[in-house]
Amino acid sequence: FELTTQVRETFNEGPFAVETLMEPISNPWNAQLRFTGLDFLPDGRVAACTWDGDVWIIREHNKQLHWRRIANGLFQPLGLKVIDGKIYLTCRDQLAILYDLNGDEEIDFV
């Protein structure tokens, strides 16, 4: 299940530009999006975690952001790092590695 938002250009002066990535505030899970970590996957997508225990994959295409929630229920992940294509998290209660065992872009094992 994907949610779509826009990329908003907020500043563009010569060689310097700022784009704001709009988050899906309205979502089917009523999830609060207080981001606590992000990193880039090898293919250019972004992995991001939130204070409330969600992990999202974000891809950009033609100034649109496509958000997919791949994990939830983690205990306050406060940092995220991608190493060799795997997502590592530092949570309040554990260090976690996320595994998608069947390739459906949803986490099957932590």
- pLDDT for 103 equals 87
The answer to whether residue 45 scores a pLDDT higher than 90 is: yes
- What the block records as the tokens of 101 is 């065992």
* Percent of the chain clearing pLDDT 70 (strictly above): 100
- What the block records as the tokens of 35 is 């981001």
Instruction: Give the tens place of pLDDT for each residue, 52-74.
Output: 999 999 999 988 999 999 999 99
- pLDDT for 36 equals 95
Q: How confident is the model at residue 17 (pLDDT cuts 50, 70, 90)?
A: confident
> What average pLDDT does the chain have?
92
